């Protein structure tokens, strides 16, 4: 469709003559595009923000811990207390071959960490190096625990983000310096800046991680542990092996294997599945609302063009009488529709991007953007293409009406 510069001047003059009507119609398109782009960008940012809570956490993991029994078994009454031990870890490794990682965790709350005059009440976690495959650390300084730390029972520790910032307010690499936990001193080997909020026996930000065997000895815990973190091998779902896991642990402690409350197995696969289903629904809702609003704006454009064509019946009839072809009339009406839709729509896109950028600044910490509330380049291109299509569709009915006008009928109306 080819239009010369004079035709574009006519388009602008037409829109200016009906500026109030054009503004109201254009605002409908503007608002529709703004809503669509803002919802897409906001939905992506919300998804990233919630996903950050599970950052670094294995999607095929589960946590096992003990609670009071709720069923009698082997002569024992219900309500009995029991404890997980490191022997249970070996049982699971030996009797459930579908498991990949089986990592015990011991915890102690209310431990005072001290460095000089700086103190922080934190939780101490005893872990093994393989736990990093369950909840991946983000090392800002140094390293995580390794096998040599366990084998040689080194008195080393990894600080969480808040613990580090409190004990070392001046900043800098703390590796090699000593930190006192209660009455014992530990050498710092790393600082963990993990951003997840899974809070496995306490937030990683507010915890100090030490080797498991060292913690059991330092706090007189014997072989007791608080949790067992597990992951399944590739192709195996945790839900499929949960009964077997519960049976192995329960029978070793004279617990009914069907007592699900006594041997708790929290399956994170279910949690991640719920999150995926939630965001699929949110994405569908975003597109339904956004496209619905856009269509409402396009209908408004079509209505305004119908009114414009009716007001210009005489003008169109005269143009037909002096030789204007139906194609020329069609081009002019559709071009007016596209121009009105494009100006309003592109303004809506720009305003939505600006609002999303301002929103993104509110989720910036230490110069790092935590959630990106923006649309991709191809999303913007798709929105522009959709605008052009809507402009053509909105102009089809008015263009058909304009093409049907006969010069004789136009003169009669005049």
HEC readout, 351-371: HHHHHHHHHHHCCEECCEECC
Q: Which H or E run contains 34? A: helix 19-52
Which of 122-136, 331-345, 365-379 is predicted least confidently? Answer: 365-379
Residues 141, 243: Cα–Cα separation, whole Å: 41
pLDDT in tens, 56-75: 777 888 999 999 999 999 88
Radius of gyration (C-alpha) of the chain in whole angstroms: 34
Residues 235-242, mean pLDDT to the nearest whole number: 89
Which of 19-28, 36-45, 179-188 is predicted least confidently? Answer: 19-28
Residues 14, 217: Cα–Cα separation, whole Å: 86
- Residue 341 above 70 pLDDT? yes
Please give the DSSP secondary-structure letter assigned to residue 327.
H
Residues 357-376, mean pLDDT to the nearest whole number: 71
- Residue 132 above 50 pLDDT? yes
- Residue 48 above 80 pLDDT? no
**Per-domain residue ranges of the chain:** 5-54+273-413, 101-226
Q: What is the pLDDT of residue 196?
A: 63
Residues 48, 370: Cα–Cα separation, whole Å: 8
- Residue 167 above 90 pLDDT? yes
For the chain, the 3-state helix, strand and coil shares in percent, each to the nearest 5, are 55, 20, 25
Q: The tokens of 18 are what? A: 């009906």
Q: What is the pLDDT of residue 353?
A: 84
Banded model confidence at residue 408, pLDDT cuts 50, 70, 90: low
Q: Specify the residue for token string 């388009």.
A: 11
Asked if residue 340 lies in contact with residue 371, where contact means CB atoms within 8 angstroms, the answer is no
Residues 379-401, mean pLDDT to the nearest whole number: 71
According to the per-residue pLDDT averaged within each range, which of 94-103, 374-383, 395-404 is highest?
94-103
Instruction: Select from 32, 18, 4 the least CA-distant residue to 386.
Output: 32
- Residue 246 above 90 pLDDT? yes
CA angle 121, 124, 129 (to 5 degrees): 150
């Amino acid at each position: 469709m080819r239009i010369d510069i004079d035709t574009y001047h006519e388009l602008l003059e037409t829109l200016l003559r009906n500026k109030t009507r054009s503004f109201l119609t254009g605002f409908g398109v503007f608002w529709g595009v703004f809503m669509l782009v803002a919802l897409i960008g906001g939905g992506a940012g919300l998804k990233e923000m919630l996903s950050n809570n599970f950052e670094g956490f294995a999607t095929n993991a589960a946590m096992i811990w003990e609670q009071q029994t709720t069923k009698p078994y082997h002569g024992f009454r219900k309500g009995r207390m029991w404890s997980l031990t490191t022997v249970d870890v070996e049982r699971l490794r030996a009797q459930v071959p579908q498991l990949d990682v089986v990592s015990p965790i011991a915890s102690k709350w209310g431990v005072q960490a001290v460095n000089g005059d700086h103190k922080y009440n934190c939780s101490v976690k005893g872990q093994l190096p393989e736990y990093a495959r369950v909840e991946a650390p983000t090392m800002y300084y140094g390293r995580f625990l390794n096998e040599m730390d366990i084998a040689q029972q080194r008195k080393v520790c990894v600080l969480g983000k808040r613990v580090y910032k409190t004990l070392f307010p001046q900043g800098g690499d703390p590796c090699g310096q000593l930190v006192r936990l209660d009455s014992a001193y530990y050498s710092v080997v790393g600082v963990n800046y993990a951003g997840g909020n899974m809070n496995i026996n306490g937030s990683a930000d507010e915890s100090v991680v030490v080797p498991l065997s060292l913690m059991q000895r330092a706090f007189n815990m014997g072989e007791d542990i608080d949790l067992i973190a597990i992951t399944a091998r590739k192709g195996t779902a945790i839900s499929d092996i949960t009964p077997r896991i519960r049976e192995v642990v329960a029978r070793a402690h004279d617990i009914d294997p069907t007592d699900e409350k006594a041997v708790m197995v929290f399956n994170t696969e279910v949690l991640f599945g719920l999150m995926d289903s939630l965001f699929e629904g949110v994405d569908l809702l975003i597109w339904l609302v956004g496209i619905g609003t856009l269509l409402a704006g396009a209908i408004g454009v079509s209505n305004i063009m119908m009114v414009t064509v009716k007001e210009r019946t005489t003008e169109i009839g005269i143009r037909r009488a002096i030789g204007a072809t139906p194609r020329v009339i069609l081009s002019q009406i559709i071009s007016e529709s596209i121009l009105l839709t494009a100006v309003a729509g592109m303004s809506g896109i720009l305003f939505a991007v600006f609002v999303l950028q301002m929103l993104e600044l509110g989720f910036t910490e230490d110069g790092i953007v935590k959630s990106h509330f923006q649309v991709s380049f191809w999303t913007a291109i798709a929105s522009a293409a959709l605008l052009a299509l809507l402009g053509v569709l909105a102009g089809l009915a008015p263009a058909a009406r304009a093409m049907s006008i006969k010069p004789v009928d136009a003169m009669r109306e005049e």
